[in-house]
Structure 1
Amino acid sequence: MSNLLKINTTFSRGVTIPSLIFIISICILSAVYPNVTEDLLNTIKEFIFVNLNWVYVWSVTIFVIFLVYLMFSKYGNIKLGKNDSKPEYSFFSWVSMLFAAGMGIGLMYFSVAEPMQHYSNEIFSGSHYVNRAKSAQLYTFFHWGIHAWAIYGIVGLSLAYFSYRYKLPLSLRSCLYPLLKNKINGRWGNAIDVFALCSTFFGITTTLGFGVVQINSGLQILNIVPDNSFTYQVIIVSILVTLSIISAVTGVDKGVKLLSNINIVSVVVLLLFVLALGPTVYLIGSFTEGLGSYINNFFNLTFGTHVYEEETLPWFYNWTILYWAWWISWSPYVGLFIAKISKGRTIREFIAAVLILPTMFNFIWMSVFGNSAIWFDLHIANGALSTLADNPDALMFRFLEYLPLTRVISFLVIAIIIIFFVTSADSGIFVMNGIATRNASVSPKWQTAAWGILLAVMALFLLNAGGLTALQSMTLVTALPFSVIVLLFIVSLVKALTIDRNYYERDFSVSTVPWSGKFWKERLKNIVSFNDRNSIDHFIETTVKTAFLELQGEFAGNGIEAKINSSENPKRIEIEIQYDRVNNFVYGVKNQPRMVSDYLLNEDNLPDFGENRTYYPRSYFGDAREGYDIRLFTKNELISDVIKHYERFMEIISEERNEMFISSNANRRMK
């Protein structure tokens, strides 16, 4: 009986229990006392937005500037992982997944609604319709552009760097390692992860609730369901969450990647349809002009606080500041997911892809849908779409009525919303389970399913009781402290990247002795010859092994235990000195193939060789620095080379500033 009562779980109690208590308490409070809770949280939110909006403005500005600096700096070539790491996903799959997780349903929900709301807003209504249309596009670009993705990018980069470069857990606590050191494993670390888990849950729950309402509204307009009742919302949530759980259980490599790839293709098809059958010339021209306007006004928008335009301040609080708070509140979830799929990318590649590609797609998408709606409203609908600006649930589907094949395209839109819904939910479930288990490599499937069920129950509970708005306000309030935490991530990154760069740029001691001319004939013969696999295997088995054995004996004479590891296919051998608290010292040599240019095959002034592949003994090191060809080394010169690397290693580990870099990496083992 005791065995039956044991539950197989990988949950971290210090993270999971406080998170569940807080999540359930807030959800019950929002559902039982929706008006009181909403009023209280709105009061707090209004105070923050009015008096502390500058915190959001400066934080987001710093995020953008810092990422752009990193992209063009000397740190851009640093990989998110070992120096020899390779990306786990193709570029298309990678971009598809980060895009689907980062924006998701919001693109469908706001692509028509936001431009129309700006276009019909009172603060713009006094101006000519052309100026209103331009302002609508400009501010939509601003809210969905580089600034939003910079927030996601800074969190994702910090997580990926400290996880894959420093071998720390894929957890927000790891991003503060340079500042907190081993304290990240205690209460401070648990508090950060609890915050991330609750923020992720609240964000996905509110998106889930509002997404279900939009799907239900679309089905009602298409006469598939008779009304927008709670009964149909329960059915929709049950189906979608079930799909999300199935996708999450299958893992990122299967479910999430497949759905993201399908979704990006479907979105592009829908985009091209509206572009081709809408006011095409107008859309292309307005996109071009809108992009130029965004670039020209970039700094004014970035630093703008509307302090001299008091009549626009309420709009500024309810749009720009709300968006910055919303993106920040979502950044733990999106950042964790982006980091999860970005191992092996360089910092420059990561930033360029995260900042530029989704931003450009968002601009094109918002231009096509938003400007089409404005054009239809002005030339065909006689203002009918403007009157629906405050009803975003139905606005997208009413907009589609002015295009051919309305019913077919409406079904496609619903399908895309559903897939966006599932990709957001399944990646969210995956991320929440990772936070709750402190990134356990394998977890029981019931845990993944449990998060999905909890999401569905709480979303329906709040939807029925009218508590979703209160929960949304709670999410926005939590963005303020997290913006400060993300600023600390930047401090940690600067400190870590400086040490990282200095570590790999550290040169050898001046005591390094260059070649003498004693063996010049043998060296010349090796330089002009091409070696086959067997000859290099022989070199490794004789010269290299003999050198390592002599070194092993000398180390032992000085009280240091050195191991010699070897393997076949390809041939390799290494000398390793193991440590408990710092990285192991490793110097190895492996048989490395290299292709030879076809031009040299027929060169008369070189020795003949039979194939266009040659081999050479390449050195490698425990910290994945770049190795080199050692075939011209004698035994004693190879011993000298190992010693100079060991001297460099001892100098680095003896310096206090390198402590966090050398003690956090997992010790390397030969594969």
Structure 2
Amino acid sequence: MTFSTFWREKSSFNPFVTGATLLIVVLLVASTLLLPLQTQAVLDGLKSGIFQYFSWFYILICSIFLFFLIFVAISNFGNIKLGTNEEEPEFSFLSWLAMLFAAGMGVGLMFFGVAEPLSHYNSEITSGSLAQRTQEALLHTVFHWGIHAWAIYGVIALALAYFAFRYKLPLALRSCFYPLFKEKINGKIGDIVDIMALIATLFGIITTLGFGAAQLSSGLHTLGWFENGDFGLQVGVIIVVMLLAVLSAISGVGKGVKILSETNLGLAILLMLFVLFTGPTRYLLSAFSENIGTYLSNLIPLSFKTFAYESEHIGWFNGWTILYWAWWCSWAPFVGLFIARISRGRTIREFVFGVLAIPSLFCLLWFTIFGNSAIWFDSSIAQGSLSAMTSSPETLLFKFLDYLPLSSLTSLVALSCIALFFITSADSGIYVLNNIASRDKSLASPRWQAVMWGVLMSLVAITLLGAGGLATLQTMTLITALPFAMLMAIICVSLAKALWLDKQYFEAKFNPTTVLWTGERWKSRLKQMMNPTEDKDILKFLKQTALPAMRELRNELRSEYDLTVDVLSDFTADEPFVEFVIHKDSLQDFKYGIRSVEREIAEQLVKDETLPHIQQNTVYEPISYFFDGRNGYDVQYMTHEELIADILKHYERYLSLLTGVGQELMTHEQTELAE
């Protein structure tokens, strides 16, 4: 069996996507091992370049994502369902919220729950009294983990869910570009999208695994199980956890993983409540309320703040906010796919506010309880000992728990949460990587692919941790997330186009001409429908149907009602027309016209072999137009008598308006014309 045959028959991989991704990763690992100093210099240079030239882009585009989602939700687009119009949600509202709540948890919250507020509290970004510094520290922490992070996830999740459940396309990132590239998404354009998403997701997951390994090692050392939490222990943790994740991924025991995830979520909530009720409870509840207000009142200014006028804080800004925005972008395919899978049947409005509000509120509660408590203990009991450890953030959670009762038990619970988050994140990451790299999203991935991803992530994480620790992992996330953030901007354009077309499609009404149809002449009308009209057909309609009908009605109105009526026509104009005009003194004339209008037909319809009657790229239609500028419609199916009836229908409307609001409007317009 040749390698290409094996690749095709024994894997679900897209050869180009997977091969290009593996090549990039292997080159990175090899250069890190063989040329560590040169590689680090290149990475540092790329990081500095992104900080210098693209930090504004991260801030602007992530804010655009947020306001794009809010606009879509509050507009008429918010009524569109992620599925058919009749489809009901797959999960109950409470179950759906619970799963969103679970998605908001992870290794990151465990790692940064204490460390980040304390870091900001002791950094240059805060100033003033103890209370002011605490408030600002929590503001910046919540800003990093709040609604902007979930807007980044939400854009990808909404696009994935919409195109998968509404357009019936595969649940894949390349599907999000269908309105822009149509069938080309199944070619190299789709492959490039998948490569960018695969690399960004891979390094986003690896970075998270690095944080988890560092904190797990520190926890094992704190509990006294190992003498130190050095690099060797971190390597062991990565190997053991990834082994468990791979076993979980290849076992197919989804129910067991679900139970573990729910148990883990329960443990995390219990730990949070324990800290709330054994810590300064009243202070924390008051701080939670105030943190909400502070966050909301500063949301708009912070959304666009690039510190262009506060250059002394640029280092902090790049090292925290920009790195976070890059991290969230790299995690967007991972979290977005999970959210999309559970959101079928929801309206866009329900989806957006659920995704933005619920997890953000939980993150705010989590950081209030852990962050405010840590600062409170540090300033009142610990005498700054917690602040002194901000350079080792992986140890802070366990040192913080020492100031609460039952510290050994709570540290064990925290360690269990981190381990389970670690395992489930790696397990889910393997699934997402297989999905992105697959040539057919409906194919089941063979077990060896899960082993391959597990080994790959472990090797890259260990190599980069050994080369430069967590900083190197963060640098790789920053670099790989930039092109994907640009890709997300294009996804917003594609989604906006699709939503607009969706609205037009479902709001499209029958042609007014068809209201007059009966069963008579149905064969001739069917023949007209199945033979797209050319310009000569429209000229024939204007001359033989429209013009005689208008002249007959003109003669009747002149002879019987003494009205001043004209019928105008020009069959040599760029848009040939006939026009029926009833003149009114001091009022706007009544006008009903029909012109020949050229319309393009989509190329894919012309090429569609199941539509043999469509042979050309353009058709011509006789479109009506009126005295007041209203949109007209195609009248080619009308008979002589039906056309007279249609003119009279609009004339009756014209007369009825003369007795109401139309009189003043039409008089005013006539006056302007006279002037």
Q: Is TM (by shorter chain) over 0.5?
A: yes
Change (3 A) 1:468 1:316: closer
Question: How many angstroms apart in 1 are the aligned matches of 2:600 and 2:509?
Answer: 15
Question: How many angstroms apart in 2 are the aligned matches of 1:208 and 1:238?
Answer: 11
Deviation at 1:427, TM superposition (A): 1.2
Deviations 1:330-355 (A, max 9, x none): 22222233223322222112211110
Tell whether 2:196 aligns with 1:195: yes
Question: How many angstroms apart in 2 are the aligned matches of 1:479 and 1:447?
Answer: 24
Counterpart in the other structure of 1:87? 89
Report the residue type matching 1:454 in the other structure.
Answer: L
Question: How many angstroms apart in 2 are the aligned matches of 1:342 and 1:247?
Answer: 25
Question: How many angstroms apart in 2 are the aligned matches of 1:14 and 1:255?
Answer: 34
Deviation at 1:455, TM superposition (A): 1.7
Deviation at 1:508, TM superposition (A): 2.4
Change (3 A) 1:434 1:404: same
Q: Is the 8 Å Cα contact of residues 61 and 147 (structure 1) preserved in structure 2?
A: yes
Deviations 1:542-577 (A, max 9, x none): xxxxx9xxxxx999x98999xxxxxxxxxxxxxxxx
Report the residue type matching 1:169 in the other structure.
Answer: P
Question: How many angstroms apart in 2 are the aligned matches of 1:407 and 1:467?
Answer: 28
Deviation at 1:119, TM superposition (A): 0.5
Deviation at 1:174, TM superposition (A): 1.6
Counterpart in the other structure of 1:21? 23
Question: How many angstroms apart in 2 are the aligned matches of 1:246 and 1:51?
Answer: 43
Change (3 A) 1:177 1:395: same
Q: Is the 8 Å Cα contact of residues 203 and 480 (structure 2) preserved in structure 1?
A: no
Q: Is the 8 Å Cα contact of residues 145 and 363 (structure 1) preserved in structure 2?
A: yes
**Secondary structure at the counterpart of residue 403 of structure 1:** coil
Deviation at 1:254, TM superposition (A): 2.8
Counterpart in the other structure of 2:187? 186
Question: How many angstroms apart in 1 are the aligned matches of 2:88 and 2:247?
Answer: 28
Q: Is the 8 Å Cα contact of residues 77 and 503 (structure 2) preserved in structure 1?
A: yes
Deviations 1:175-208 (A, max 9, x none): 1221122221221211110111111111111221
Counterpart in the other structure of 2:66? 64
- Equivalent positions of 1:29-44 (< 5 A) are 29-44=31-46
Q: Is the 8 Å Cα contact of residues 104 and 363 (structure 2) preserved in structure 1?
A: no
Counterpart in the other structure of 1:418? 419
- Equivalent positions of 1:130-149 (< 5 A) are 130-149=131-150
Q: Is the 8 Å Cα contact of residues 173 and 189 (structure 1) preserved in structure 2?
A: yes
Q: Is the 8 Å Cα contact of residues 240 and 418 (structure 1) preserved in structure 2?
A: yes
Q: Is the 8 Å Cα contact of residues 215 and 394 (structure 2) preserved in structure 1?
A: yes
Counterpart in the other structure of 1:222? 223
How many residues align? The count is 536
Tell whether 2:155 aligns with 1:154: yes
Question: How many angstroms apart in 2 are the aligned matches of 1:99 and 1:23?
Answer: 33
Indicate the larger mover: 428-437 or 79-88.
79-88
Stretches of structure 2 that go unaligned for 5 or more consecutive residues are 531-598, 609-675
Counterpart in the other structure of 1:270? 271
Deviation at 1:425, TM superposition (A): 1.0
Question: How many angstroms apart in 1 are the aligned matches of 2:157 and 2:253?
Answer: 16
Counterpart in the other structure of 2:472? 470
Change (3 A) 1:471 1:400: closer
Counterpart in the other structure of 1:595? none
Deviations 1:504-542 (A, max 9, x none): 1112233556999xxxxxxxxxxxxxxxxxxxxxxxxxx
Q: What is the TM-score with the length of structure 1 in the denominator?
A: 0.74
Counterpart in the other structure of 2:293? 292
Deviation at 1:171, TM superposition (A): 2.0
Deviations 1:606-627 (A, max 9, x none): xxxxxxxxxxxxxxxxxxxxxx
Deviations 1:10-47 (A, max 9, x none): 11112111111112221232344344323322222222
Q: Is the 8 Å Cα contact of residues 219 and 395 (structure 2) preserved in structure 1?
A: yes
Deviations 1:24-72 (A, max 9, x none): 2212323443443233222222222223221111101111111011111
Question: How many angstroms apart in 2 are the aligned matches of 1:560 and 1:509?
Answer: 13
Counterpart in the other structure of 1:431? 432
Report the residue type matching 2:438 in the other structure.
Answer: T
**Secondary structure at the counterpart of residue 167 of structure 1:** coil
Counterpart in the other structure of 1:404? 405
Counterpart in the other structure of 1:283? 284
Deviation at 1:655, TM superposition (A): 7.4
Change (3 A) 1:76 1:247: farther
Tell whether 2:524 aligns with 1:484: no
Q: Is the 8 Å Cα contact of residues 199 and 329 (structure 1) preserved in structure 2?
A: yes
Question: How many angstroms apart in 1 are the aligned matches of 2:314 and 2:270?
Answer: 39
Deviation at 1:431, TM superposition (A): 0.4
Indicate the larger mover: 419-428 or 253-262.
253-262
Deviation at 1:84, TM superposition (A): 3.0
Q: Is the 8 Å Cα contact of residues 34 and 470 (structure 1) preserved in structure 2?
A: no
Counterpart in the other structure of 1:121? 123
Q: Is the 8 Å Cα contact of residues 199 and 480 (structure 2) preserved in structure 1?
A: no
Q: Is the 8 Å Cα contact of residues 105 and 265 (structure 2) preserved in structure 1?
A: no
Q: Is the 8 Å Cα contact of residues 267 and 417 (structure 2) preserved in structure 1?
A: yes
Report the residue type matching 2:15 in the other structure.
Answer: R
Change (3 A) 1:359 1:301: same
Question: How many angstroms apart in 1 are the aligned matches of 2:459 and 2:46?
Answer: 27
Tell whether 2:459 aligns with 1:457: yes
Report the residue type matching 1:398 in the other structure.
Answer: K
**Secondary structure at the counterpart of residue 112 of structure 1:** helix
Counterpart in the other structure of 2:450? 448
Question: How many angstroms apart in 2 are the aligned matches of 1:358 and 1:251?
Answer: 28
- Equivalent positions of 1:337-356 (< 5 A) are 337-356=338-357
Q: Is the 8 Å Cα contact of residues 196 and 483 (structure 2) preserved in structure 1?
A: no
Change (3 A) 1:71 1:509: same
Q: Is the 8 Å Cα contact of residues 329 and 475 (structure 1) preserved in structure 2?
A: yes
Question: How many angstroms apart in 1 are the aligned matches of 2:512 and 2:529?
Answer: 25
C-alpha RMSD over aligned residues? 3.2
Change (3 A) 1:559 1:423: farther
Change (3 A) 1:67 1:222: same
Q: Is the 8 Å Cα contact of residues 160 and 339 (structure 1) preserved in structure 2?
A: yes
Counterpart in the other structure of 1:322? 323
Change (3 A) 1:252 1:96: farther
Tell whether 2:76 aligns with 1:74: yes
Report the residue type matching 1:505 in the other structure.
Answer: E
Counterpart in the other structure of 1:331? 332
Counterpart in the other structure of 1:600? none
Change (3 A) 1:84 1:194: same
Counterpart in the other structure of 2:214? 213
**Secondary structure at the counterpart of residue 307 of structure 2:** coil
Change (3 A) 1:484 1:232: closer
Change (3 A) 1:134 1:35: farther
Change (3 A) 1:43 1:203: same
Deviation at 1:240, TM superposition (A): 1.6
Deviation at 1:441, TM superposition (A): 3.4
Question: How many angstroms apart in 2 are the aligned matches of 1:240 and 1:24?
Answer: 22
Counterpart in the other structure of 1:510? 512
Report the residue type matching 2:361 in the other structure.
Answer: M
Question: How many angstroms apart in 2 are the aligned matches of 1:38 and 1:331?
Answer: 26
Aligned to 1:496, which of 495, 498, 504?
A: 498
Stretches of structure 1 that go unaligned for 5 or more consecutive residues are 517-546, 548-552, 562-653, 664-671
Report the residue type matching 2:488 in the other structure.
Answer: V
Counterpart in the other structure of 1:173? 174
Q: Is the 8 Å Cα contact of residues 400 and 410 (structure 1) preserved in structure 2?
A: yes
Question: How many angstroms apart in 2 are the aligned matches of 1:435 and 1:252?
Answer: 22
Change (3 A) 1:34 1:103: farther
Change (3 A) 1:2 1:374: closer
Question: How many angstroms apart in 1 are the aligned matches of 2:472 and 2:271?
Answer: 34
Identity of aligned residues (%): 48
Bigger Rg over Cα = 2
Q: Is the 8 Å Cα contact of residues 256 and 427 (structure 1) preserved in structure 2?
A: no
Question: How many angstroms apart in 2 are the aligned matches of 1:658 and 1:262?
Answer: 54
Deviations 1:126-175 (A, max 9, x none): 52211111110111111111011101110111111112211222222221
Report the residue type matching 1:240 in the other structure.
Answer: V
Question: How many angstroms apart in 1 are the aligned matches of 2:489 and 2:31?
Answer: 31
Counterpart in the other structure of 2:303? 302
- Equivalent positions of 1:624-663 (< 5 A) are 656=601
Q: Is the 8 Å Cα contact of residues 30 and 467 (structure 1) preserved in structure 2?
A: no
